[in-house]
A and B are shown apart, each in its own frame.
Chain A
């Protein structure tokens, strides 16, 4: 079976949303909803309404990063302070908690921020190669792209739907 991608460019979000709405309700059993992608200069204001709920896992990375940063940070500091064991401490604790709290707090944030950015890159599929994926520079300017992957029949039906919604231009490519 020949699999293709089609990218239609629309003048605004309303036209793109209307086109996606019709695609979703067209009788195309071979089409998976996950194969519809919007490409736009800003985030689509009603993306969840148009595409259905799609979750982001970035916050899970944030939690892991905060725990890792705070935990590793405290252990690192405490381990370093453990080296003072042989030294005179004047009755003070070897691992003093109040100052260690300040450092742990900073390292917790450090870990959370670093791992959040790592999580963002993973979840957003970055870095990515533009070559090999339908893209039009107008998408970063003022047009809204709707990209769909499917077999030849699906793609030809979608092209007709796009045309009914005043698509500005259409690009197609073979995937496999």
Chain B
């Protein structure tokens, strides 16, 4: 166990044992050494994960090439089931991207400093999730060679995008979010790139010299850095909320039964934060092992992340129930029948699994023993994300199979192996990019951890003086 335990007197004079988020006596040079070492000599499991992710990616590429050559028919999508796994998984990946904003921006603004050792990889998760989500839009188009039709530029065909369509808002919001997240990630990494530059040799020296932009840690640089970082964080929060609200509008602004619900935007945002938090736990445990980050990704920080996940899970559960009750007590008989079909029809297994995994499994997180067990946490985080993926699948598919028109009702839909292959490949693509990122960019923010150690040491000294 890396974190230390301190004893303090509680209000009733009872000695309370409290684990610290990070050791306060850790030397700053040691922080540099540990993090830089992770980029040079990770465990063999790093390469195993990378190779696995690459193999999954190749499966996805193979399926996409097959679909490209044979046409969209091989995906099994039909009329009325026009969205299938592609759009369900697109929403899933967009949701995953919210974790970075939560940890970087929201927790930064409220000064929750325990986020510092883990926010960098969460930000990377945001960026790569958005890149993966963007791929699904293109894959879903089918005619990849005509993707530029969607770009709003004057042309002789007079083909203009429909500015009143939430799909165009989606494209704008995702582009804004993706580019802002990349810049936020990059700017926040500049001081760490300077540390890499000062310790690197060979090609890495030139690489990090370029990325660090000549950062020297002057008071002028720090001052402007802090302001810029805070300002961008403030803009990223409404941006992240707007992105998933707009994705929700793709559904809620249509007249389809099961989608035309006022609470869809907050429901989507809560789901996004939920799946993002669960994914952070998965990656936390993985990076802790692969890069030997036991000193930084400590059990108390995992505990806090698990508590946050539980809280968001309850918000999601509440909004889920609100959605059901809105439909149940609403005036739309078709929407009510669609809801009943989800619970009792051909998709009922997935629907009940979604509710169980999303709303019941998180209750295991209330037990401290569970939160302190890495294996249990890994399994739970994966189950929660499976539940959140099923949520998106259950939003998209049943409505198409049980729309307003009776002719849609006998179209029970299950994706073909091509769709499954591309979805499988997307996880490989994400994993591959993420692992590559962790090899090239410090996945623990060195300067932020130093700040955390410094301020906590000061606070402890101050508390001792007061005592």
Contact = CB atoms under 8 A, between A and B. Distances in A.
B246 A139 contact: no
A100 B168 CA distance: 11
A37 to B, nearest CB: 5
Contacts of A123: 220, 224
B180 A113 contact: yes
Contacts of A112: 231, 235
A120 B225 contact: yes
A84 B217 contact: no
A47 interface: yes
A110 B221 contact: no
Contacts of A102: 169, 242, 246
B13 interface: no
Contacts of A142: 27-29, 32
A58 B160 contact: no
Interface stretch (B191-199, B289-297, B383-391): B191-199
A147 B221 CA distance: 14
B213 A120 contact: no
Contacts of B223: 43, 47, 54, 56
Interface stretch (B280-288, B317-325, B448-456): B448-456
A81 interface: yes
A141 B30 CA distance: 9
Given A56-B224, A120-B224, A124-B220, A141 B454 contact: no
B227 interface: yes
Most buried by B among A44, A45, A117, A133: A117
Contacts of B183: 113-114, 117
B187 A120 contact: yes
A127 B232 CA distance: 19
B219 interface: yes
B330 interface: no
A84 B152 CA distance: 13
A100 B239 CA distance: 16
Interface in A66-97: 77, 80-81, 83-84, 96
Interface in A90-129: 96, 99-100, 102-103, 105-107, 109-110, 112-114, 116-117, 119-121, 123-129
B213 A137 contact: no
A45 B216 contact: no
Given A110-B176, A114-B183, A129 B214 contact: yes
Interface string B153-180: 0100010100110001100110110011
B409 interface: no
Main secondary structure, interface of B, reads: helix
B226 interface: yes
B119 to A, nearest CB: 15
Interface string A34-53: 00011111111101000100
Most buried by A among B32, B168, B235, B238: B235
B213 A121 contact: yes
B49 to A, nearest CB: 30
Contacts of A114: 179, 183
Contact of B219 (A47, A81, A110): A47
Interface in B379-420: none
Nearest to B161: A80
A2 interface: no
B228 A120 contact: yes
Contacts of A39: 216-219
B218 A140 contact: no
A99 B222 contact: no
Interface string B218-257: 1111111111100110011011001000100000000000
Interface string B1-41: 00000000000000000000000000111001000000000
Contacts of B213: 121, 126-128
B21 to A, nearest CB: 17
B84 to A, nearest CB: 27
A59 B231 contact: yes
Given A42-B454, A58-B227, A107-B172, A125 B163 contact: no
A37 B223 CA distance: 12
B454 to A, nearest CB: 6
Given A109-B239, A110-B180, A54 B219 contact: yes
A40 B208 CA distance: 19
B215 interface: yes
B447 interface: yes
A174 interface: no
A37 B219 contact: yes
Nearest to A110: B176
A51 B219 CA distance: 9
Nearest to B32: A141
A117 B232 contact: yes
A130 interface: yes
Interface of A: 37-45, 47, 51, 54, 56, 58-59, 62, 77, 80-81, 83-84, 96, 99-100, 102-103, 105-107, 109-110, 112-114, 116-117, 119-121, 123-130, 133, 135, 137, 139-142, 145, 147
Given A41-B28, A59-B227, 14 more contacts: A39-B217, A41-B217, A44-B222, A51-B219, A56-B223, A80-B152, A106-B176, A107-B172, A113-B180, A113-B235, A119-B228, A124-B220, A127-B214, A140-B32
Among all A-B residue pairs, the 10 with the closest Cβ atoms: A128-B214, A120-B228, A142-B28, A137-B198, A43-B222, A127-B213, A124-B224, A123-B224, A58-B227, A110-B176
25 contacts: A40-B219, A41-B195, A41-B447, A42-B451, A43-B222, A47-B219, A56-B227, A103-B172, A105-B242, A106-B239, A109-B176, A110-B175, A116-B231, A117-B228, A120-B227, A120-B228, A124-B221, A125-B220, A126-B190, A126-B213, A126-B214, A127-B213, A140-B195, A141-B29, A142-B27
